[in-house]
Copies of this chain bind each other. A is one copy, B any other.
Amino acid sequence: MKLSDLILEIKNKDSFLCIGLDTDINKIPKFLLNEEDPIFLFNKSIIDKTNPYCVAYKINTAFYESLGTSGWVSMKRTIDYINKNFPEIFTIADAKRGDIGNTSKMYAQTFFGNMNFDSVTINPYMGSDSVKPFLEFENKISVLLGLTSNIGALDIQLKKANKDYVFIEMIKSSMIWGNEDNMMYVVGATKPQYIEKIRKLIPSHFLLIPGVGAQGGDLNEICKYAMNDNIGILVNSSRSIIYASNDKNFAHSAANESIKLQKQMKIILSQKNELEL
């Protein structure tokens, strides 16, 4: 998918919501466990009910891998289902991969070639040759870690480097590897104080913003600092949507949570439009 198609979809749906499919076999409704592929069935139900309100699905690969081969099968069925039935929806493999060049080439093949995701999250700590193989795929987007939402971000990313924080040096290094059409950055919603700084450095790139919901980030505050003229953000929510309830109506509850966020997003987008007129 091209970035321009994603922006069009955001405008069509008045939503920049990304739903994270962090599907945990221990958290899904118990009645699904009798089925042949409970993980896929759970995802399918969530997708069928929530797709009108979101523009992206983010599949957290860890949750699938933890089940071994069967989890990998469920992940493949899920991405295939989205690609076939909702090709207008942007897909993200939240895989945090990255390795030396010849190995990263294999990871790019995994998520872009074999699985046909639109994008993949990349840990850029190993530098240019660990990211470039992903950028060689056309109409695919590499989503680099900018500043993560977790407490551990303090350990390295928020250490001071030469002239600035390590994560700023990271973004500066990476800016020349690609462009705003084939790179995005992950920026945690729990650290709004740094988003202004990031926006000065990369005004045009899309930001993928996790941490709204269970992790405590505030939507309005995020948007104030992170949006740009092209909207420029995808806000991800995982646990607070997909585990909204765990009875027979779990997918309906997930849709309701998605609608709540989408309505807030619609207001934010219309306020933004008014300001720009």
Contacts and interface: CB of A to CB of B under 8 A. Distances in A.
Interface of A: 22, 24, 60, 62-63, 65-69, 72-73, 76, 94, 96-104, 106-107, 109-110, 113-115, 123-131, 145, 148-157, 159-162, 166, 169-170, 173-174
B152 A106 contact: no
A173 B173 CA distance: 22
A160 B161 contact: yes
A102 B131 CA distance: 25
Copies of the protein in its oligomer: 2
- A-B pairs, top 9 by smallest CB distance, nearest first, are A127-B152, A127-B155, A62-B106, A125-B125, A100-B150, A66-B106, A66-B109, A65-B110, A155-B173
A132 to B, nearest CB: 9
A125 B110 contact: no
A60 B103 contact: yes
Nearest to A109: B66
Contacts of A60: 99, 103, 106
A144 to B, nearest CB: 11
A145 B152 CA distance: 16
Given A106-B63, A148-B100, A149-B100, A125 B69 contact: no
Most buried by B among A22, A96, A113, A170: A96
Nearest to A114: B68
A62 to B, nearest CB: 4
Contacts of A150: 100-101, 126-127, 129-130
A72 B114 CA distance: 13
Nearest to A63: B106
Contact of A170 (B69, B99, B115, B156): B156
Contacts of A96: 97-99, 123, 126
A32 to B, nearest CB: 19
A62 B96 CA distance: 12
Contacts of A109: 66
Given A68-B115, A101-B150, 19 more contacts: A22-B102, A62-B107, A63-B106, A65-B106, A68-B76, A68-B114, A69-B72, A96-B97, A100-B148, A100-B149, A101-B152, A124-B155, A124-B156, A126-B145, A126-B148, A127-B156, A155-B174, A160-B162, A161-B161
Given A69-B69, A156-B170, A125 B145 contact: yes
